[in-house]
Amino acid sequence: MNKIAFQGTHYAFSEIAARKYFGDNIETHPCRQFTDVFKSVENKNSHYGIIPVENSTTGSVYQNLDLMLDSSVTVVGEVQLRIEQHLIANPDVKLEDITVVYSHPQALQQCGNFLASFPDIETIASYDTAGSVTHIRNEKMLHAAAIASRQAAEDNKMQILKEEIEDNPQNYTRFHIIASTTQMPEGANKTSIIFSMKNIPGALFKSLSVFALRDIDLLKIESRPMRGKRWKYLFYLDFAGTMNEERCQNAIRHLEEITSFLKVIGSYKAAED
């Protein structure tokens, strides 16, 4: 049975996404931090890891982009999940009793409009959504709520005070499946790379031209600051195609002429609905 590492406690969205991707016949391994998920895969304590990489409301999960840079893991799959956030409290607690809301910072951000309509409610960042439900239950907190999934509320026998409080119902998260060895899964159609450019004029345009000249579609580009180098950037780029295709191999070889750093983090099958 495959063992899958994820960040958070049981019923976290990452665990729900893992079941969507692998099915129910898996063992899940909760980790406190994203870095622990990477370590669990690198050390072969888990067969795979699952990490959120982008949310359609709040954007990329930069911490995982940054971790991917230094890690030896590769991306072997992708899955997306609609994220419904609910305001959850102990039984009999009322909305007007709430003075503090606990959740993961990304969840707090996804519900920014809802929370802004209660300016007196304090928000406290916690390690994960489902864990914040367990926390307010275990501490029997009567003035606190948590933001998490329906499954987290039901499993903890807690009350949903308000349903679907995310700002935008088109609230989806993309997750990457990571493994310790490079794999080329069946149906692979997408590749992710990280690169930084040489300091030459028009470098960004030239890097994108290696794909355009070979009719390779760019799916996404994202920039991140390089640590310790002021206003220098790493680029995270997804393109349509795999490293088994000659035109993609040629594009990457061409790109190496322009870049000072280049890492292919994996070819995999793009998430479907």
Interface with a second copy (CB under 8 A) = 54-59, 62, 105, 123-125, 167-168, 170, 172, 174, 201-202, 204-205, 208-209, 211-212, 215, 217-218, 220-225, 227-231, 233
Apex 116 CA angle, 155 and 11, nearest 5: 15
Using the minimum distance from each CB to a second copy, give the nearer residue, 183 or 250. 250
Least Å distance, CB 214 to a second copy, is 11
Least Å distance, CB 24 to a second copy, is 26
Using the minimum distance from each CB to a second copy, give the nearer residue, 179 or 216. 216
Using the minimum distance from each CB to a second copy, give the nearer residue, 26 or 100. 100
> Cα(49)–Cα(31) distance, rounded to whole angstroms?
10
> Cα(9)–Cα(20) distance, rounded to whole angstroms?
17
Assess whether 175 carries a catalytic annotation: yes
Phi/psi for 253 (5° steps) reads -65, -40
Q: What is the number of other CB atoms lying within 10 angstroms of the CB of residue 117?
A: 9
Using the minimum distance from each CB to a second copy, give the nearer residue, 48 or 102. 102
Residues 136 and 102 sit within 8 Å (Cβ to Cβ): yes
Residues 197 and 226 sit within 8 Å (Cβ to Cβ): no
Assess whether 239 carries a catalytic annotation: no
- N- to C-terminal Cα separation, the chain: 25
Least Å distance, CB 230 to a second copy, is 5
Least Å distance, CB 53 to a second copy, is 12
Active site residues: 173, 175
